[in-house]
Amino acid sequence: MDFSLTEEHEIIQAAAREFAQNEIAPVAAEFDESGEFPSDTIRAAGELGFMGVEIPEEYGGSGLDSISYVLIMAEISAADAAHGTIVSVNNSLYGVPLLEFGTEDQKQRFLTPVASGEVNGAYALTEPQSGSDARSMRSKAVLSDDGKYYTINGKKSWITSGPVARYVVVFAQTEHADGSACGISAFVVDSETDGFACGKHEPKLGIRASATCEIELTDYRCPVESRIGDEGQGFKIAMTVLDSGRIGIAAQSLGIAQAAYEAALEYSRDRKAFGSSIGSFQSIQNKLADMRTRIEASRLLVLQAAWAKQRAKKTGSKNTLNSCMAKLYASETCMWVTHQALQIHGGMGYSKELPLERYFRDAKITEIYEGTSEIQRMVIARLETGLR
């Protein structure tokens, strides 16, 4: 069993690290403070192929594998988690449904410009009253009498990249003109079309540069050609997307935790107290040992999930268990490690002069979005027991 990265993966990882540390890290605090969307660095990420890592080249992407994706996500997130979130949405939440369920025309029209970084994409599943309970969504898409378009009405909340996205994958309960229900369906909507509007922007604790807002659809006319997959296939599409997206968030968690650990390690060597470096104190050493161990365990789970995702593509199987375990453990490790790193820094960790307080704020969302830790545990247990 070989746990080493291939030479190609090492080159990709090094390229992502160089870009993240030279272009993103120097501006991360500024964008965190202002909450502005980092258009220039995201455009540069697109030029390097980071906005469509696993998307084939014919659709504007890089055509790389899942291992490459998690390596890139971890490096970008180590520099700034907000940039990592934006990259994750484009790659997983927006790219996967179109790549796996879209028609050739949809891939050319809606996937290529996003995967290439020309424009941004977003994913709209959550609603004000339905987060984890996606089946209770109230947004409706009613098919016209002539069967040519859907009229969509509804409100979506917590939409990452919503204020800047050109195209959004939207989920809605589908009905025919006679009132017959067809279940949840998925659609691509264009933010530049009448009936689309951004609502309130969310004032977030962390990942502040990843613009987040509500979106409202009012009598939005969506051509049938913009429906992804079959009518009623939306819930399956959404769950497939989340299986992929959780791996990206696990990699993001790994990157944040790694950055926090490295900061704490350096500080423990430099900081003197009672005549010695604090890294020589047993209490600090215990923290560092546990931090490193949990990070490495997370890394293995993330890489295993990415490897299993590639295998699932070939066999047509699902990768839910691996993605849930990686997301659960890596996100909780991220939160724990940033907490310990802040403790090691003491008062300086609480100051905005150092990035530790930003790592700590950014870490919390990894336990929430794309399925809370509670949901991950529920899914894992159900898969293991076969009980619901």
CATH number of the domain at 17, please: 1.10.540.10
Helical H segments across the chain, by residue range: 7-19, 25-34, 39-47, 66-79, 81-88, 95-101, 104-106, 112-115, 234-270, 282-315, 320-345, 356-365, 373-385
Mean pLDDT of 205-234: 97
Q: Answer yes or no: is pLDDT of 237 > 90.
A: yes
Which range of residues forms the domain containing residue 298?
235-385
Residue 322's DSSP bridge partners are: none
Q: Record the tokens describing residue 204, joined without a space.
A: 């977030």
Q: Answer yes or no: is pLDDT of 101 > 90.
A: yes
Q: Answer yes or no: is pLDDT of 287 > 90.
A: yes
DSSP 309-374: HHHHHHHT---HHHHHHHHHHHHHHHHHHHHHHHHHHGGGGGSTTSTHHHHHHHHHHTTTTTS-HH
Q: What is the dihedral of CA 157, 356, 255, 88, to 10 degrees?
A: 20
Last residue of a domain, one of 185, 217, 232: 232
φ/ψ (deg, to 5) at 233: -90, 0
Active-site entry in 216, 225, 370, 374? 370
Q: Respond yes or no: is residue 370 known to be catalytic.
A: yes
Asked if residue 269 lies in contact with residue 26, where contact means CB atoms within 8 angstroms, the answer is no
Last residue of a domain, one of 104, 120, 136: 120
Share of the chain above pLDDT 90, in %: 93
Within a domain: 55: yes
Asked if residue 155 lies in contact with residue 215, where contact means CB atoms within 8 angstroms, the answer is yes
pLDDT for 246:
97
Last residue of a domain, one of 120, 153, 181: 120
Asked if residue 371 lies in contact with residue 324, where contact means CB atoms within 8 angstroms, the answer is yes
- If asked whether residues 81 and 217 sit together in one domain, one would say no
- The total number of residues written for the chain in this structure: 388
CA 247 and chain centroid, separation: 8
Mean pLDDT of 6-21: 98
Residue 302: half-sphere exposure toward Cβ, Cα within 13 Å: 31
Q: Answer yes or no: is pLDDT of 1 > 80.
A: no
pLDDT for 176:
87
Within a domain: 337: yes
Residue 187's DSSP bridge partners are: 170, 227
pLDDT for 302:
98
- If asked whether residues 15 and 72 sit together in one domain, one would say yes
Specify whether the backbone of 301 is left (phi greater than 0), alpha (psi in -120 to 50) or beta.
Answer: alpha
Which residue's structure tokens are 């899942």? 66
pLDDT, tens only, 245-260: 999 999 999 999 999 9
Within a domain: 172: yes
**173 burial level (CB within 10 Å; 0-12, 13-18, 19+):** buried
pTM: 0.96
Q: Answer yes or no: is pLDDT of 356 > 80.
A: yes
Within a domain: 1: no
pLDDT, tens only, 154-201: 999 999 999 999 999 999 999 987 778 889 999 999 999 999 999 999
pLDDT for 131:
80
Within a domain: 2: no
**How far apart (Å, rounded) are the C-alpha atoms in residues 242 and 132?**
12
Number of domains in the chain: 3
pLDDT, tens only, 304-330: 999 999 999 888 888 999 999 999 999
- If asked whether residues 138 and 171 sit together in one domain, one would say yes
- If asked whether residues 282 and 226 sit together in one domain, one would say no
Q: Report in angstroms the alpha-carbon separations of 232 from 22, 137, 219.
A: 46, 13, 20
